[in-house]
Amino acid sequence: MQFTSLMPPLFAVFLILFVGFVNFCFFLLWQRYQYFNQRNIPTPPFVYFFGHLKILWNSTSFYRQLESWTKQYGKIYGIYQGSSPTLIVSDPDFLQEVFIKQFANFHGRREVPMISRNRNVFTAWGAQWHRHRHIINPTFSSVKLKLMSPLINECIDNAMKKISDHATDGNEFNIYMYYKRMTMDVICRCAFGIDTDLQNNPNNIYFQKVEEIFACNIRTSFIFKLTLLIPELTIIIGRIASYISTIQTWINTHVLPLISNRRLYELPGMWLLNRLSPIIDERQKTPTSRVDVLQLMMQAMIDEQETNKAQYQLTRDEIISNILAFMAAGYETTATALAYATYMIAKHPEVQEKLRAEIDRLSLKDDEIYPDYDIIAQMTYMNMFVMEVLRMHPIALAAVQRRAFENTVIQGIQISKGMRV
């Protein structure tokens, strides 16, 4: 009887607390949406909770919408991804501050859900990023890259033979596919020492798995959109995906072989991750004289151990994560750049003649088919041509997000810690 008499007051208290909590959340949300107004930064109209995301999702092109807003609001304006303020910048001087002068404060990128809990040089930040960069920088020095030239030249030879065959028979063909195969051959050989020979074996499983990764448009996925709305879910979703993939791998390795020939489906990224682990184990047991990125990174690790710089050590899984990141970053970008360069050469025969003349002037030894790294670096017209192709047909994302790790000021604009640019 007494408990029943307490129900109305308890319900009233609960209702007041709930309403107060909801109002407090709305106040915090309203406060976050004042970020650009407080700094006198223009911003297009937006919708609460979604910010500008609904407009971007409904537009035919994410980047065309940003371009349209740039024409309307100027080279520096703000948008809200959910409730997260993001500064959209196309001003060269401002970008120079972000990417060069204040790079130490803007080296981090936005979080994305990852199947691996191990970060790489593209996803790490702070002290962790410095640790990755310290090991990787020597790996990509000009001296080390020269050592991999023979591996690259052999892949180029294989591709040129196939293209020459097509040029002889006079039939149309998709040159982009040959560039993709050549690029993947180079990456697999130079990254972790696997000879895929995709020009003669286009159905190679490594090629298929990488194609699966790029076939998925992550921007349209529900999970990606959810992490844009609620960034705090990014790490949680990534960890859940990692645990699920780890369990699947364990079942495929230890359980299913005992009872069946079938295997659970592995995400292509996890499949590659699991295939690289044995390669590193073998390298650690049996050192090789082969020169590739994996070997150079492992050698850099050994050098750090000998100089007692344990703070710069990378784990085996972190090395694998970096190798996969290089594969993802260099595959389609390089193949697409080559395709655009070929298109521009075909469209402008006068440019082709100038390039050919510069190549004919090169001083090659009798036994050399291709110029070495140093000679290529001196090809002025070739360098200008490549830069112009990349200017006219940008390969990288049109909008690259960086995150501020400390409060700073650029061109009089106050940028708070955690702000995306």
Residue 184 counted as domain residue: yes
Q: What is the CATH number of the domain that holds 169?
A: 1.10.630.10
312 and 370 fall within a common domain: no
Domain assignment present for residue 368? The answer is yes
Look at 305 and 248; give whichever has higher pLDDT. 248
Domain interval for residue 382: 348-400
**% the chain with pLDDT above 70:** 82
Residues 324 and 375 in one domain: no
Give me the mean pLDDT over the 111-135 stretch.
Answer: 69
Same domain, 203 and 249: yes
Residues 174 and 144 in one domain: yes
Count of domains for the chain = 2
Q: HEC string of the chain?
A: CHHHHHHHHHHHHHHHHHHHHHHHHHHHHHHHCCHHHHCCCCCCCCECCCECHHHHHHCCCHHHHHHHHHHHHCCEEEEEECCEEEEEECCHHHHHHHHHHCHHHCCECCCCCCCCCCCCCCCCCCHHHHHHHHHHHHHCCHHHHHHCHHHHHHHHHHHHHHHHHHHHHCCCCCHHHHHHHHHHHHHHHHHHCCCCCCCCCCCCHHHHHHHHHHHCCHHHCHHHHHHHHCCCHHHHHHHHHHHHHHHHHHHHHHHHHHHCCCCCCCCHHHHHHHHHHHHHHHHHHCCCCCCCHHHHHHHHHHHHHHCCCHHHCCCHHHHHHHHHHHHHHHHHHHHHHHHHHHHHHHHCHHHHHHHHHHHHCCCCCCCCCCCCHHHHHCCHHHHHHHHHHHHHCCCCCCCCCCECCCCEEECCEEECCCCEC
Q: In this structure, is residue 417 part of a structural domain?
A: no
Regarding whether 223 and 170 lie in a shared domain, the answer is: yes
Do 246 and 393 fall within a single domain?
A: no
The answer to whether residues 264 and 184 belong to one domain is: yes
Q: For 62-71, what is each residue's pLDDT tens digit?
A: 788 888 899 9
Q: Are 149 and 274 within one domain?
A: yes
Q: Give the residue-averaged pLDDT of 114-137.
A: 71
Per-residue pLDDT reduced to its tens digit, 354-406: 999 998 887 776 666 677 777 888 889 999 999 999 888 887 665 667 888 88
Same domain, 245 and 137: yes
In a domain? residue 181:
yes
Q: Are residues 215 and 298 in the same domain?
A: yes
Q: Judge whether 151 lies within some domain.
A: yes
pLDDT at 312: 64
Is 271 found in the same domain as 358? no
Average pLDDT over residues 274-296: 75
